[in-house]
Amino acid sequence: MRLLVTGGCGFIGSNFIRYILDHYAPEFVTNVDALTYAGNIENVAGLAAQYGDRYEFLHADIANAELIDELMRKHHFFAVVNFAAESHVDRSINSAQNFVQTNVVGASVLLEAARRRGVRRFIQVSTDEVYGSLGPEGRFTEVSPTAPSSPYSASKAGADQLALAFHKTYGEEVVVTRCSNNYGPYQYPEKLIPLMVINALRDRPLPVYGDGLNVRDWIYVEDHCAALVAVLLNGKPGEVYNIGADSELTNLDLVHRILDHLGKPRDLIQFVEDRLGHDRRYAIDSSKIRADLGWKPLRRLEEALPATIDWYLNNRPWWEKLIP
């Protein structure tokens, strides 16, 4: 079985490639990544040497229709797993154009090429941010309406709908996943957890938006990868699956845990002006994937968060190349 993994040099994509190659021999992976700011070739360093012809990398833009079509003609892919996305909310607020180009146009190119070249499955990896903001109670289910708050989440919601339309129109075996906030190794340093860890290690201020009481539902990245494999192999075409670990924390509580683990003072926290359109709370109801596909998260936040913090502590050369 050969998979086309797009965005495989990013945080979740690189962890997924490592997970599938480690756990599902003799699967083959072709990794396509444009290596924009959050795509780091060092995230997949050593894979070619370790796995030989089971892994290959192509530096390319998924919106390049001619190249993507030729790649799918060359290989008989079982599935596309589409991680490729511009994903930082603040950057989308400053300029939405790249987000539309990659997240919507790129998805359309992949979907069309996969349909034309007979790729059996298409996994559109999305986000809980497409649902917008929750009040203090309740959780997002797969039938919750989408109400994106930022250009980033709007572009992801648009790609989701496009993917599902390809299933309805052409019968393509499309499945959409929407996951809560991921944490783990290889996450780009501008994201919340690595940014807080790195700033704390450097005794620099830790910027926290607003009052810090925005709530996010956190999942360890390897648990997300396991869920994606379950969807890849057994997910029902045309369906949406929410993926979450029932680990809600305010941003402020999360930052406190990071500082406490590192033995750093809490007065490093610096409250800053809130982000435009900042959603107050996300929470995922993942009962569908648990019941239908038998998946459940294995790593608890209480042990996986300290392990993640220690990964950044022990891999300074990796992030110092990105933010000297």
pLDDT tens digits, one per residue of 93-124: 666 677 888 889 999 999 999 999 999 999 99
Q: Is residue 284 scored above 90 in pLDDT?
A: yes
Per-residue pLDDT at 97: 73
Per-residue pLDDT at 93: 61
Active-site residue (options: 128, 172, 222, 223):
128
Per-residue pLDDT at 96: 67
The verdict on whether 37 is a catalytic residue reads: no
Q: Is residue 86 scored above 80 in pLDDT?
A: no
Per-residue pLDDT at 99: 80
CB 185 within 8 A of CB 14: no
Give percent of the chain with pLDDT exceeding 70.
97
User: Where does the pLDDT of residue 92 fall: very low under 50, low under 70, confident under 90, or very high at 90 and above?
Assistant: low
SS (H, E, C) 247-270: CEEEHHHHHHHHHHHHCCCHHHEE
Per-residue pLDDT at 26: 80
Write the pLDDT tens digit of every residue in 295-320: 999 999 999 999 999 999 999 999 99
The verdict on whether 310 is a catalytic residue reads: no
Per-residue pLDDT at 89: 61
User: Where does the pLDDT of residue 84 fall: very low under 50, low under 70, confident under 90, or very high at 90 and above?
Assistant: confident
Write the pLDDT tens digit of every residue in 174-195: 999 999 999 999 999 989 999 9
Spatial separation of the C-alpha atoms in residues 68 and 73, rounded to whole Å: 9
- The verdict on pTM exceeding 0.85 is yes
Region of residue 213 (phi > 0: left; psi between -120 and 50: alpha; otherwise: beta): alpha
Peptide bond into 145 cis (omega under 30): no
Average pLDDT of the chain is 94
Active-site residue (options: 33, 61, 86, 129):
129
Write the pLDDT tens digit of every residue in 187-244: 999 899 999 999 999 999 999 999 999 999 999 999 999 999 999 999 999 999 999 9
The topology under which CATH files domain 2-320 is: Rossmann fold (3.40.50)
SS (H, E, C) 37-59: CCCCHHHHCCHHHHHHHHEEEEE
Domain ranges of the chain: 2-320
Which of 36, 33, 53 is CA-nearest to residue 44? 33
Element containing residue 319 per DSSP (H, E): helix 316-320
Q: State whether the Cα torsion 300-301-302-306 is positive or negative.
A: positive
Q: Is residue 87 scored above 80 in pLDDT?
A: no
Write the pLDDT tens digit of every residue in 141-180: 999 999 988 888 889 999 999 999 999 999 999 999 999 9
Active-site residue (options: 51, 55, 152, 183):
152
